[in-house]
Each structure stands twice: as structure tokens, then as C-alpha cells.
Amino acid sequence: MIIDLPATTTSQVNSKLVHLREQGGANTIGRVLTLVIVTDDSERTEDVIDAANHASREHPCRVIVVARGAKKASARLDAQIRVGGDAGASEVIVLRLYGPLANEGASCVVPLLLPDAPVVAWWPFESPASPAKDPIGALATRRITDAAAERSPTKALEARAKSYSDGDTDLAWTRLTLWRALLAAALDLPPHEKVTGASVSGENDSPSADLLAAWLAAKLRLPVKRTKAKSGQGIVSVVMERRSGNIEIHRPDGAVGMLSQPGQPDRRVALQRRAVRDCIAEELRRLDPDEIYETALKALGKVDRGGRGSAASRKPAVRKKVKAEVPAS
């Protein structure tokens, strides 16, 4: 069921929610958290809501979507309440903010938060430079961004490293769960030799490939090469060098990988690129700080990009000003 409340207020939205609850159409008691999604008022909003609805089947919650509209319009709040089959196992409140209200998302969200329930903020597209200092981010115990959805994924990831605060995470990191599990499991098998070198190959602007290389650099305590793959999407291959032979995972098609280890036959492993809804469901399973993600962010400077370094470590070249000689007339 979808209920539209044009030109309304948060007080009227709350009253409508209470009325629906009294009718038995929505149940707040079973909600375990409030998920606040900050996006723009566009067609992409529906895809984000679908992902949240899917995740709510594992984590029943109240979903508040802050869809910022045109800032030059007159101040107006259009709300929409979705319950039942249109909201998964949650209740969805869509707040479309126009004019001066577009910058007042936190003020509109506070009256609708579930009492005594943790708050998770999610920016599926563009995110603030420092999520923890954002007005909505300050309300949340967990803040989720997605560097891969930004205009410059590499720069966005470097910004995450500079502004990291406990509770921050990024879906570029969540997409690495299967890769990290496979690599850790491969090292648990004999022979238990020291890794002498490692490299990660992938798309040039893949933040997940950068984070995987940084994670390996932190855990193996050695520089990890980060190279650009000639073909393929996201992460294409990972190589860990040992004296007895290399451990290699190669995924050319973004779906199935090939794991090669010394003394063992090659094995096909499932490495399907993860959907956003699966990543969000995983992130909502924990509300405490992710120390491993923090470690990977701090190790980005240890990634070897063939002498190019990261954008954060590159310093602008200093050009000497040369006084032009004016020929005599």
C-alpha cells in the first residue's frame, strides 16, 4: 500500500503512521533499526528503495528516504508512506524536499526516527566529504557510502581515508568479502610459506581493487602491486608469490574465478559481482566499528602503482617561473 501526502509536515506523517499502526497495517515493535537513505529526487531512487526492501527481509527496519529536489523551488515537503507488499519487511517513508528544505534533511528525519533504535545512514551515490560530520551522519552509528558510484572513485576512496571515523564503511569494501575469504583460506593450506610478493589487477578506477591491494599490504606486511587489467570489470586477478609457487585467482568475466595453487588442481570458484542489495544486507548485520576496513584505508599508501602512487601522495610539481626575454625593438 502506498499513501501520498503532498505538501505535508513531519507531524502529519507521524500521525498517519500511528493511524496505520492502529489499523494493523504497519508494526513498529519488530523494527530493529532506522535506515536513512540520502539521495536525489530522480529515477534512481526506486532502485535504492528496492535494495533497502530486500535487505529489510533480513533486518526489519524503518526506511526513511531523503530525496532532495530542486533547491530553487519553493519550500515544500512531499511525503509518501509505503507499507505491506510495497515495503518488504519494513515501512518506507519517502521525503521529497524542495527549496530551502533540501538542505534540512536532518531536521525532517529526527521526528521520524524509531525510539531507542540504532540509526544507519546510507549515501548510495554522491556522499559528503566527511560522513561523520554531516548532519544526518551525526545521527547515525553506522554510515555507509559507495565510492564506486561517485564521479571519481579513486579520489572518493582517498577522501574516506582522510575523514574516517568509527562507524564508517563503504560498499567497495563489502564487495571484497568473497575475495578476502578465498585468499585467507588459500593461505591456510600447506605449504605454510611466507608470501614474498603480491599483486592485484583490475579496472583502473576500481576502489575495490585498491582496497584489496591495501588489505593484502597490511596483512602481508609488504608492498602490493596494483596494475590495470587489459580487460574485465572490477577485480580481475590476484597473485600471491611464494617459494613453492604462486597462488592465483583469475576472474575474467566477473562471475566465475579460477583458483590455482601449487600441488593442487585448478578449481573454479563462484565470484559473482555482488549486487547492492546483498552488500547492504551484509552491512546491516553489524553496527560496531569495522577495524579491518580502517586498517585497509590506512594501508592505501603502501600500494605500489608502478611509481605513480596514489592521488593523496602525489604532490603538484613546482614550476620555476622563467622571465621571458623581450627582444629589443
Per residue in 44-69, pLDDT (tens digit) is 999 999 999 999 999 999 999 999 99
Q: What's the mean pLDDT when you consider all of the chain?
A: 89
Per residue in 152-194, pLDDT (tens digit) is 999 999 999 999 999 999 999 999 999 999 999 999 888 889 9
Residue 136: HSE in the Cβ half-sphere, 13 Å Cα cutoff: 28
Q: Where are the alpha helices (DSSP H) in the chain?
A: 10-22, 44-56, 105-109, 153-163, 171-174, 177-188, 207-220, 276-283, 291-298
Report yes or no on whether pTM surpasses 0.85.
Answer: yes
Locate the domains of the chain by residue range: 2-170, 177-304
pLDDT reported for residue 27: 52
Residue 206: HSE in the Cβ half-sphere, 13 Å Cα cutoff: 26
Per residue in 14-49, pLDDT (tens digit) is 999 888 888 764 454 578 899 999 999 888 999 999
Decide if pLDDT at 327 tops 80: no
pLDDT reported for residue 316: 39
Name which of 134, 153, 259 is nearest 204 in CA terms: 153
Residue 180, φ and ψ in degrees, nearest 5? -65, -40
pLDDT reported for residue 72: 87
C-beta separation of 54 from 284 below 8 A: no
Record the cell numbers describing residue 195, joined without a space.
608470501
d(CA 303, CA 309) in angstroms, rounded, equals: 7
pLDDT reported for residue 192: 87
d(CA 256, CA 258) in angstroms, rounded, equals: 7
Q: Please give the residue that has the higher pLDDT: either 246 or 1.
A: 246
Record the cell numbers describing residue 235, joined without a space.
577485480
DSSP 106-173: HHHHGGGSPTT--EEEE-SSS--SSGGGSTTGGG-SEEEE-GGGSSSHHHHHHHHHHH--TTEEEHHH
C-beta separation of 7 from 79 below 8 A: no
C-beta separation of 122 from 39 below 8 A: no
